[in-house]
Structure 1
């Protein structure tokens, strides 16, 4: 509940920022138009974002015949979570990783990489899939689509202020700085904070779905340690998709926590260990994340 409340507050702050920029550009009418524009963008993204990201990643849909044990595992965990069966996709990359997408639980998908299947035990793989199902159950895929669209709208309004000058009576020089520089930066920070909050919640919910928190913790350690040594080419070409993955797939240098789309992996492991403290020593140390 605390995570959901924090997400609501952060999204409210982003909405206020969007409307504030609209007001600087066009007064009350500008604020309303900015909100309507973001709403239209969210509607488009809600309907199309899953198809776009799966296409970008080169995902191949699996059937019970072609997916075998993986599809059966997803089906069993979806039943545990009280969810309809999502579509299952394989990503043709050697980097171990996974993500979930879809506008709602009835139209959802779980995607895992070829590399993930090669390094995890069955219990660890179940933990990862349960984490992704938790995102679907909590409708995080929709939340992150909305925040990404609003971040883009705020950046666009900042660019408009740069080229049009906005309304000097309302904003002045300080308003111009806010619109062009600080507002897009603040929106990106809020988006990253929401993403980190949802990852913690999905870890907790995923542990409940799989019933094995330390298997998920072990998977996170393995993925974080291996992901840094393998390039995920589709993710590098589409860095906006990074927040969707269970571990950051990009090869950027280590960044401050404020600018990260994911919580530090060790923090996630420590929280999972609190659910099963006797097994904490079985998790390998994290060298990345």
Structure 2
């Protein structure tokens, strides 16, 4: 059901983009919009992972630099039937993580130093299982396409605002009304579709990630912990690039609320409830996870963290 919903929403996003091109420039505008979408998505397909990792200053780590973190990702990748992804660490105090890459063979997972410093080993495993579920479900590519199309629709709206649309009624029967629809309605509709796709994929990644780790409550505990701490640690890079917010396991933007009309993520309470129900169905003790005392700090490049 989630896959069908995502396919419908992606088709709607593509149709919205091509329709916006028609409203601006008639048949010529529609053809231009279609070619622009192809070009932008081809560029995003090959380069989006490098762009976002560079944007957040992520640095690749080896097993020698972060043995516990690296080994956990390796173990979960084997459980998920995935190739070993590249492993990155982001020097940021906000606890968060994301996955990127056009397919499982070219995937990368990244965690902030804030996540590694504040989470127990079990919670980090729950978070990384969630991110690997995104890789296995190819959500990283889906979200790249939606973000690219949403950005392109915004560009078309700006073009329509400054230059107006086709005055040829044969190609653009709505005239100035069509231009106004592109300027006002199209970006809003694109944002709503993008948010709907993101929320749908987060729920599915929670479920699949819990299956990969075999412990739904590890992720439930991590989500509760993230909810308590992420708002107090602003992510300035994410604030400057809000189009990337949907990539993270929880919304990195200040003031973000789950399951609202304009939210990229489901509410944490709903996610935790579903995971606890899943744990109950598996016969797992659904009492709150007791976080064990953290072990000695593990060296992570120039920094250290309590994950070992």
- Tell me the TM-score normalized by structure 1: 0.93
Partner Cα distance (2:286, 2:237) in 1:
34
In the TM superposition, residue 234 of structure 1 has moved relative to its aligned partner by 2.3
Matched, 1:131 2:130: yes
- 2: CA distance between counterparts of 1:199 and 1:255? 11
Larger Cα-atom Rg: 2
- Aligned twin of 1:205: 208
Query: For each residue in 1:167-211, what CA deviation from the matched residue of structure 2 results, as whole angstroms up to 9, or x when unmatched?
Result: 342223432221110011100111111111110110011011000
Separation (CA, whole Å) in 1 of partners of 2:164 and 2:289: 55
Tell me the equivalent position of 1:220.
Answer: 223
CA distance in 2, matches of 1:255, 1:65: 38
Shift of 1:113: 0.9
Identify the residue that residue 287 of structure 1 maps to in structure 2: none
| Residues 158, 86 of structure 1: alpha-carbon distance in 2 compared, 3 angstrom cutoff | same
Q: Structure 2: where are the runs of 5+ without partners?
A: 291-308
Distance in structure 2 (CA, Å) of the matches to 1:128 and 1:139: 17
Q: Distance in 2 between matches of 1:42 and 1:224?
A: 33
In structure 1, distance between residues paired with 2:232 and 2:150: 30
Q: Does 1:164 align with 2:170?
A: no
Indicate the larger mover: 273-282 or 172-181.
Answer: 273-282
- For residues 256 and 272 of structure 1, the distance between their equivalents in structure 2, rounded to whole angstroms, comes to 16
TM-aligned CA distance change 1:257 to 1:54, over 3 Å: same
Select between 250-259 and 157-166 the one with higher mean Cα deviation.
250-259
User: How many pairs align?
Assistant: 283
RMSD of the alignment, in Å?
A: 1.7
Q: Which has the higher helix share?
A: 1
Pick the aligned partner of 1:248 from 251, 258, 264: 251
**Structure 2: distance between partners of 1:245 and 1:253:** 12
Residue ranges of structure 1 left out of the alignment (5+ in a row): 285-289
SS in 1 for 2:64: helix
Kept in 2, the 8 Å contact 1:221–1:283? The answer is no
> Any idea what the Cα deviations from partners look like across 1:81-113, whole Å, max 9, x if unmatched?
110000001111111111001111111111011
